[in-house]
Amino acid sequence: MAFHGEVAVVTGSSRGIGRAVAELFAAEGARVVVNYRCDQDGAEQVVRGIVASGGEAIAVRADVAEPEDVERLFKEALAAYGTVDVLVNNAGILEPKPFLELTKQDILTTFETNFVGVALCAQQAARIMLERGRGRIVNIASVSGLDNFGTAGNMPYAASKAAVLNFTGVLAKALAPHVLVNAVAPGFVETGMGHSPEYEAVVTAVPLGRLVQPREVAEACLFLASAKAGATTGETIVMDAGFRLR
Ligand code: NAP
């Protein structure tokens, strides 16, 4: 078990990609902090599943966009497990809306969770990791944050993910050499996020003709947090089933 005894905080792990990440790290021996904002039942179900499989996990409610919540999330991680080795910044929201109808609050709401939340969690994790002289941070971005791959109905989302990708590189420089910071940029993943007629049409048109599975994104996170990726920092793994090739 590659992560035996290590501690992983996975934001937004009550369902979807975060859930797959939490379950995979737990299966590899990590003690996992399952974070959620609203879905307590989902988070507790994830914890129960991990414990039933012989792993260790706790659920902590915290809105990643709220500094006090984020501070408490990491305090609870330290209280339960004594340290944090890995942070997977996964929590994110997608609220499609035509550009001309967007309000300032729509844009801020998306940025608060998708970018500010990533920065606040990374800051708390970095304090712990720099003191210990080791740590890994993996940010879940999106292929929509690369170049012009966002869609007209998701402009704040794409811009927030572009910010995450830029932040990943800058933070990797700031925290080197002991803390490594990388990103995964998925295309269309089989979760509840973003389902719409437009989404279905794009999915069938990607070269691989299928959705990316949450487990595949989790495997990329596991790799980036592992010793195998010890020379990799400031990098992005794109997992888009060929979406960018169209
Ligand atoms: P999802 O199924 O909608 O799950 C989102 C998770 O984030 C939930 O656990 C939710 O918890 C949590 N969350 C949302 N806002 C939060 C906040 N402010 N504080 C704490 N937790 C919060 O989404 P997903 O598809 O798994 O996506 C996960 C990540 O992958 C996101 O960053 C997303 O942008 C990215 N991504 C997804 C796709 C895709 O096609 N699905 C593609 C590219 C990138 P509660 O329900 O408890 O609030």
pLDDT band, residue 199 (cuts 50/70/90): low
Atom 3 in ligand 1: residue holding the nearest Cα: 193
Q: Taking residues 196-220, report their average pLDDT.
A: 86
Q: Which residues are catalytic?
A: 157
Atom of ligand 1 nearest to the CA of 66: 18
Reply yes or no on whether the pLDDT at 152 is more than 70.
Answer: yes
Atom 36 in ligand 1: residue holding the nearest Cα: 142
**Domain extent at residue 193:** 7-245
Instruction: Evaluate whether residue 2 is within a structural domain.
Output: no
Å from CA of 90 to ligand 1 middle: 6
Instruction: Evaluate whether residue 132 is within a structural domain.
Output: yes
What proportion of the chain, given as a percentage, has pLDDT over 90?
A: 91
pLDDT band, residue 34 (cuts 50/70/90): very high
Instruction: Evaluate whether residue 151 is within a structural domain.
Output: yes
Instruction: Evaluate whether residue 1 is within a structural domain.
Output: no
pLDDT band, residue 200 (cuts 50/70/90): confident
Instruction: Evaluate whether residue 111 is within a structural domain.
Output: yes
pLDDT band, residue 162 (cuts 50/70/90): very high
Tell me what pLDDT residue 192 has.
85
pTM above 0.75, yes or no: yes
Instruction: Evaluate whether residue 142 is within a structural domain.
Output: yes
- The CATH number of whichever domain residue 135 belongs to comes to 3.40.50.720
**CB-based pocket (< 6 A), ligand 1:** 11-18, 35-39, 63-65, 90-94, 113, 117, 140, 142, 186, 188-189, 191-194
Instruction: Evaluate whether residue 81 is within a structural domain.
Output: yes
3-state secondary structure the chain: CCCCCCEEEECCCCCHHHHHHHHHHHHCCCEEEEEECCCHHHHHHHHHHHHHCCCEEEEEECCCCCHHHHHHHHHHHHHHHCCCCEEEECCCCCCCCCHHHCCHHHHHHHHHHHHHHHHHHHHHHHHHHHHHCCEEEEEECCHHHCCCCCCHHHHHHHHHHHHHHHHHHHHHHHHCCCEEEEEEEECCECCCCCCCHHHHHHHHHCCCCCCECHHHHHHHHHHHHCHHHCCCCCCEEEECCCHHHC
Å from CA of 200 to ligand 1 middle: 19
Task: State which of 13, 36, 149, 184 you would mutate to test the pocket of ligand 1, scoring each by most atoms of that ligand within 8 A of its C-beta.
Answer: 36
Å from CA of 94 to ligand 1 middle: 8
Reply yes or no on whether the pLDDT at 70 is more than 70.
Answer: yes
Reply yes or no on whether the pLDDT at 197 is more than 70.
Answer: no
How many domains, in total, are found in the chain? Answer: 1
Task: State which of 9, 10, 17 you would mutate to test the pocket of ligand 1, scoring each by most atoms of that ligand within 8 A of its C-beta.
Answer: 17
Instruction: Evaluate whether residue 22 is within a structural domain.
Output: yes
Å from CA of 80 to ligand 1 middle: 24
pLDDT band, residue 233 (cuts 50/70/90): very high
